[in-house]
């Protein structure tokens, strides 16, 4: 069954604005990862946050994790048209070993 659920399903913003995507999950996790997928391509890893971490940064990306609420958010600051893509969260549960469970993704459109 799907563990992560992204919200919103689709987001459309203007270049320069910030984009925030949320992910909720159901079971206890070892880590949570965010991936990006350009249309018709494979997924590319963006950032991994461990269950004992609360916030992580990578360039224009900021990820937060709230294990008490079983939720995470991905913030993309100063968005660009090239950020247009689908974004997925994926979780590794405490009992799943190396298996990742993906949500359905958020389709982000950044308008020039």
Q: Which positions lie near another protein, rule CB under 8 A?
A: 1-2, 30-31, 33, 35, 40-45, 48, 50, 88, 90, 92, 97-105
Residue closer to another protein (CB basis): 41 or 54: 41
Per-residue CA distances from 34 to 38, 72, 92, 112 (Å): 14, 10, 12, 24
Which residue number, 42 or 112, has a Cβ lying nearer to another protein? Answer: 42
d(CA 70, CA 48): 15
CA distance 28 to 51: 9
Q: Are 73 and 8 in contact (CB under 8 A)?
A: no
Q: Which is nearer to another protein, 52 or 68 (CB)?
A: 52
């Amino acid at each position: 069954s799907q563990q992560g659920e992204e919200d919103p399903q689709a987001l459309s913003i203007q270049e320069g604005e910030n984009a925030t995507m949320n992910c909720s999950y159901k079971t206890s996790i070892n880590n949570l990862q965010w991936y990006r997928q350009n249309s018709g391509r494979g997924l590319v890893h963006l950032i991994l946050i461990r269950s004992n971490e609360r916030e992580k940064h990578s360039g224009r990306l900021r990820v937060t994790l709230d294990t008490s609420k079983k939720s995470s958010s991905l913030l993309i600051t100063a968005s660009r048209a090239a950020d247009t893509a689908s974004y997925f969260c994926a979780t590794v549960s405490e009992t799943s070993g190396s298996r990742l469970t993906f949500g359905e993704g958020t389709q982000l459109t950044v308008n020039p």
